[in-house]
Structures are given as structure tokens and as C-alpha cells.
Structure 1
Amino acid sequence: MGMIGHLQAITTEELTKFLECSTEDAIVSLLYVDGELDTTGDYLNIDKAWDGINFLLTGELVGEPPLSWVIFGNQVGKGDVRDWLNSLLD
């Protein structure tokens, strides 16, 4: 099993809806339409290339900011993921 990358640009309103989800089914309903992953809008499937892209940008497995932010974002989550996502709205 491996990790794959799907990148999706979302609005603040979409992030708020995501954070309001209390079940996995609610989250899936935001990501899928008629049983298929919603790939409309600003969507990119980078599959397993996320690791190679990060390495090419930074020359390292994890890399240093700001180029590592392309793959990993510029926020480091600590504790509850919901707390970290909510901090993005502040």
C-alpha cells in the first residue's frame, strides 16, 4: 500500500463545510459525486509523483520551505487535525 496525491483547490466556504462534517460519510459526500471522485474545478491527480515532485523542488526527501510547501503546505498540524484546519480560517 502506498500514499497517493490528489490536490484540490477549495474556497473558505468549502473548508468550513468540511470542518462541519461529523462522520466519514459526510466527508465522502463532499468529495464524491454519484460514487465518483469529484474532479471538477481546480483538481490535479499526482498519484505517487508527490514524492518525486517534492524531491525535484527541494533536493531532499522532505525538503525546506518554501519549495516544500508546494506538496506539504506551509502549516504544520499538531494535535487534532480539525484544530489545525480551523486555524487556517483565522
Structure 2
Amino acid sequence: MPSSPPRRPAPRSAHLRRAVPGDTNGVGDAFVRGLRMGRVERVSVVTGGAHADRGSTAVAVSAVGRYVVFVSTATNLVARPEPQADWRLRRTS
């Protein structure tokens, strides 16, 4: 019996307004969309859900869909003395 391919989340980065409810920061964000339920989750957020203060892009998802990695210049995702593009790793919900 053939097995079906895994249904892991699909990564996206977008400069769309209102891609998810409450997305009002006006910068590009990193998203994942669950293929089973179709739910879109913005992952470029501060712990607790606050907006990133700068843009994010280049999204990739781990093989089992548990982790997502993206590039961001946001200064409030990780404490940095100066803004710089950096990779971020986040566990999806």
C-alpha cells in the first residue's frame, strides 16, 4: 500500500497587509500555512505575539514541520546592539 507524502506546513514570506488578523506592522513578515487545516500562522513575532519592528523573509520549514527558520532585521526578536539581518529559529504551534 503506497504511503502519502507528509503534510508539513508550507512556508511563506509576504508584504501583504492583513495576511492574518492583527497584522498591522506594515513590514514583510514570515508565515507558515498548515496544509492539513489551512491555518496561517505569522511566525516573525516576539514571544507573546507582539509585532516584529522590521521585516522578515526567506522562510524554510523543518522536515516534520515543527520548526521554521527565517531572516529578519527586527531588533525586538533577539537582543542586538545594532540592527542586522540574522537567521531566526522558531517552533511552530
How does the TM-score come out when normalised to structure 1? Answer: 0.24
Judging by fraction of residues, say which structure has more strand: 2
How does the TM-score come out when normalised to structure 2? Answer: 0.23
Larger radius of gyration: 1
Higher RCO (C-alpha 8 Å, min separation 6): 1
Judging by fraction of residues, say which structure has more helix: 1
